Structure 1
Amino acid sequence: MRQKKNYFLFMIMLMCALNYADRSSLSASMPLIAQEFHLSPSSIGWLLSASLWIYILLNFPSAIISEKYGSRIMGSLSVAFWSFAMVLGALGGNYSNLLVSRILLGVGEAPTFPIGASVINRLSSSEERPVLFTLFMASMQVGLALGTAVAGSLTYIYGWRFAMLVLALPGFIWAICWWLIYKDQPEDTQTNLPETAPLLRPSVLQILSILRQQSFIGIIISGSSGNYLNFLMVSWLPIYMNRKFGLNMAVAGFDASLTYLSAAAISVVLSIIITKIPKRSLSTTESNRYVTSTLFVISAFLVMAIPHAQSAITVIIGVGLALGFVRAGSGANQALLNDLLIPSRYIGSAFGLTLTFTNSVGMTAPIITGYLVEQTGSFYSAFGVSSTLLIIGSIFSLLYTRRSIQIQEPTLST
């Protein structure tokens, strides 16, 4: 039984990794794409953020649909769909076709995090969730590392279209395996559901009512600040390495992949260490709140130091630490949402709603960075914006997440 649970947890983390591997492939291939289509920095920014446009709009609806029809069918369909979008992008012959393929990629990726949150909630206890959510977030960095390294190397040797085709293949395999093995809500994974669950689900309006609750606002703002840094690095790090140090695509992609891998390792180690530290009188909820706030502040100072780095290895270390602290803090922030939500079985919908806002902020990072680089010729102001947002997110996490987040369930009339 435990082995089956671990396998399901591994599968959703692999799903997250594939998500970000495919998403990051464009950034690693961008120097050649920009050269082929004669793109300006602002045009690059729009293309890099294209997958997020529809992704943001579908985060909440896809979460509702996933909870209605189950993680099995939605997981398989979503991964297969975004893998198909990768194929379309590789076969497209112009900028417009590539832009459309990235939008379709966002359609397929939308249910990823709600599905992951639902599975983690079902398979774990409150004590385990900070580490599990951090592992889930760390999977993003692993995916970034693999996607950037593979896309950068294959693009350098065979071209960016071939790189996208290769990266699309694992998604189709994952979708088949998930469909064949995963079963929605098996009895041995119902660790968090009461014996008699309500027969009626909350309406969309009842779920949306949490937008008026202070703690949910705090979760959104802190999550948005972390997402801004993440999407900034996903979109621009290989290009930053290429421009500042004159590295070719393969080397820049490899260096960026080292950064993402180090961030994943740092975030997991941090989360495990923090979990092992005695909390004395602190509850799990209070601990997650303080961890989120503290790690975001540390990351903010690290981000401000990155533009002053004079070597590629220093950038790798600095960005790896900054992303690692943010990922661990984001894992604690997600666990905090799970702790505060009543009842917690609707975490998929709550997380999907959260993503609608946090990804809206994250989506602006590639665009804002593109304009700032175009206007100033450097990345100093871009990193400054991200650092400021992290400080703001830390404050809101500390002060605005002290009350439960309640979803009113409908009752059966007698």
Structure 2
Amino acid sequence: MRNRRKFIYVFLFSLTSINYIDRVALSVAAQPIAHEFGISPIQMGFLLSSFIWTYFASLIVWGLALDRWGTRWVNAVGMAIFSLATVATGFAWSYMSILFTRLVMGAGEASSYPAGGKVIREWMPARERGIAAATLNSGSYAGPAIGAIIVSFAVQLFGWRIGFVLVGSAGAIWLACWLKWFRKPELASFIDDEERALILRERNGGLPDMPAGPTLSIGELLRSGSVWGLLITQAFCSYAQFLFLTWLPSYLQTERHLNIVKSGYFTALPYALSVILAIAIGRLSDRLLTTEACNRGGRRNVVAASMLLTAIVLVTPFVDNVWIMVAVFTLSLTGAQAGIAMNIALLGDLLPSSAEAGRATGLLITGGASFAMIAPIATGYVVAMTHSYNNAFYIAGVLALAGALVALLMTRTPIRRAGESAAVDLSASGLVSQER
């Protein structure tokens, strides 16, 4: 049997890479755009945050659409929308026109994570969910690393407008490949029958497929304490992620006095290193956790440990050496990346089936977006009022510590369908017993 499902890893990684390349373009080009249009730090904070407004509003809609119509076409539509919006940013003529293209981009980008979560739940055996989720989320860090270099050079050589056109055009190649090759495992032609049987047998953690019937509604999901634990953890982790994503290049340029190209490099390096480290954490979680432990939510321990690593951002104000600063950012970004990825994998572990994976992942990312939306704006106000980034780093670190505690205490039970008793007898499968 050949492991051809590795192609799905490529799709997952490149999906979020392109998504985040488009996001980071404005962060890298923020100074020349601010100079051209006379934008203040507070206005830039709103502009950097703007795509998250429509992103936040669209996540559950995309999740419901994915569960109804499937990932192939719904994800394709999302990619087309946000790629075209990024290209259009390069033709903007005012602050408001950039704001509009960013709002459209955010609405389209909201499709990616719900689609990725559903693909993982449909395609991956339970013992591979950790590395699959880490691969999906690693694209969100590889994207800024690649985008920071491409956009910084484009801005330096050709101006900021060309940078947006270049990165926005990458989505067309991905879209063509996706539509040509991607199908559900039941229909995919690039895997053989033996691998197909393995996926279908093990994607529920060895438990039998849930019988056909109503799937969990958004309301039923929100009645689960574990779901609320996942949402809060995602929110606190996403705050740190979006602090780095939206303000790191400006921090390096203003506080560390690096030029645009150097700030691009020093933004790219921590992101690139964190991709390798976070995938290693995902792989390690799959090796250490048994199927039984996954079904009981044991991955929450990896989530909590990752959040503690994120909190190392608290030491940033005390670091003077630029290379030590890179190490701190690398570790904190690794923790944030692994925390978000393992939280997505934990959601898959706790769901009863893949039928509601789209809406559940959409709901999870909505939790993250709630604080991601706040981070750029809050940082803009902090910088404007204190003329320093120190308090911005303190806020992110404290939230990460709180997220570790929430992950340990609130994500301990499976997510159940309406009518199922509190003591769902998972032990009937011969694999697990309900954790109290």
State the match for 2:318 in structure 1: 308
State the match for 2:103 in structure 1: 103
State the match for 2:124 in structure 1: 124
Displacement of 1:138 in angstroms is 1.2
Q: Mapping of 1:184-195 within 5 angstroms?
A: 184-187=184-187, 188=196, 190-191=200-201, 192=203
Residue type at the aligned position of 2:68: K
Closer/same/farther in 2, CA of residues 317 and 126 from structure 1, 3 Å limit: same
Displacement of 1:313 in angstroms is 2.1
Tell me if the contact between 2:295 and 2:350 (Cα under 8 Å) persists in the aligned partners: no
Residue type at the aligned position of 1:233: F
CA distance in 2, matches of 1:33, 1:362: 22
State the number of aligned residues: 407
Q: Structure 1 residue aligned with 2:268, among 257, 269, 272?
A: 257
User: In the TM superposition, what whole-angstrom CA distance separates every residue of 1:288-341 from its partner, at most 9, and x where no partner exists?
Assistant: 1111112212321x1101122213322221111111022222222222111111
State the match for 1:83 in structure 2: 83
State the match for 2:190 in structure 1: none
Farther-moved stretch of structure 1 (39-48 vs 69-78): 69-78
Tell me if the contact between 1:241 and 1:312 (Cα under 8 Å) persists in the aligned partners: no
CA distance in 2, matches of 1:363, 1:77: 23
Farther-moved stretch of structure 1 (302-311 vs 16-25): 302-311
Tell me if the contact between 2:149 and 2:268 (Cα under 8 Å) persists in the aligned partners: yes
CA distance in 1, matches of 2:291, 2:413: 21
Q: Structure 1 residue aligned with 2:244, among 208, 233, 243?
A: 233
State the match for 2:427 in structure 1: none
CA distance in 2, matches of 1:70, 1:278: 30
CA distance in 2, matches of 1:282, 1:184: 27
User: In the TM superposition, what whole-angstrom CA distance separates every residue of 1:68-111 from its partner, at most 9, and x where no partner exists?
Assistant: 11111112111111111012111111111111000000111011
- Whether 2:173 is the aligned partner of 1:163: answer no
State the match for 1:298 in structure 2: 309
Farther-moved stretch of structure 1 (260-269 vs 308-317): 308-317
State the match for 2:256 in structure 1: 245
Q: Mapping of 1:346-357 within 5 angstroms?
A: 346-357=356-367
State the match for 2:370 in structure 1: 360
Tell me if the contact between 1:341 and 1:407 (Cα under 8 Å) persists in the aligned partners: no
Tell me if the contact between 1:266 and 1:325 (Cα under 8 Å) persists in the aligned partners: no
Farther-moved stretch of structure 1 (159-168 vs 400-409): 400-409
What is the DSSP-based 3-state SS (H/G/I as helix, E as strand, rest coil) of the residue aligned with 1:168? helix
- Whether 2:176 is the aligned partner of 1:180: answer no
What is the DSSP-based 3-state SS (H/G/I as helix, E as strand, rest coil) of the residue aligned with 1:345? coil
Q: Structure 2 residue aligned with 1:373, among 379, 383, 394?
A: 383
Q: Mapping of 1:8-19 within 5 angstroms?
A: 8-19=8-19
State the match for 1:338 in structure 2: 348
Tell me if the contact between 1:295 and 1:326 (Cα under 8 Å) persists in the aligned partners: yes
CA distance in 1, matches of 2:385, 2:123: 49
Given the two structures, how large is their TM-score scaled by the length of structure 2?
A: 0.88
Q: Please, which runs of 5 or more residues in structure 2 have no aligned partner?
A: 188-195, 421-436
Farther-moved stretch of structure 1 (68-77 vs 225-234): 68-77
User: In the TM superposition, what whole-angstrom CA distance separates every residue of 1:242-276 from its partner, at most 9, and x where no partner exists?
Assistant: 01121111110111011111111111123333443
How big is the alpha-carbon RMSD for the aligned residues of Structure 1 and Structure 2?
Answer: 2.2
CA distance in 1, matches of 2:210, 2:175: 30
Identity %: 27
CA distance in 2, matches of 1:184, 1:297: 36
State the match for 2:425 in structure 1: none
Closer/same/farther in 2, CA of residues 184 and 343 from structure 1, 3 Å limit: closer
- Whether 2:342 is the aligned partner of 1:329: answer no
Farther-moved stretch of structure 1 (364-373 vs 212-221): 212-221
Displacement of 1:195 in angstroms is 8.3
Residue type at the aligned position of 1:325: G
State the match for 1:383 in structure 2: 393
What is the DSSP-based 3-state SS (H/G/I as helix, E as strand, rest coil) of the residue aligned with 1:342? coil
Displacement of 1:283 in angstroms is 5.3
State the match for 1:147 in structure 2: 147
Farther-moved stretch of structure 1 (183-192 vs 129-138): 183-192
CA distance in 1, matches of 2:219, 2:5: 31
Closer/same/farther in 2, CA of residues 216 and 154 from structure 1, 3 Å limit: same
CA distance in 1, matches of 2:317, 2:238: 19
Which protein is richer in helix relative to its size? 1
Q: Please, which runs of 5 or more residues in structure 1 have no aligned partner?
A: none
CA distance in 2, matches of 1:179, 1:347: 21
Closer/same/farther in 2, CA of residues 248 and 285 from structure 1, 3 Å limit: farther
Displacement of 1:200 in angstroms is 5.0
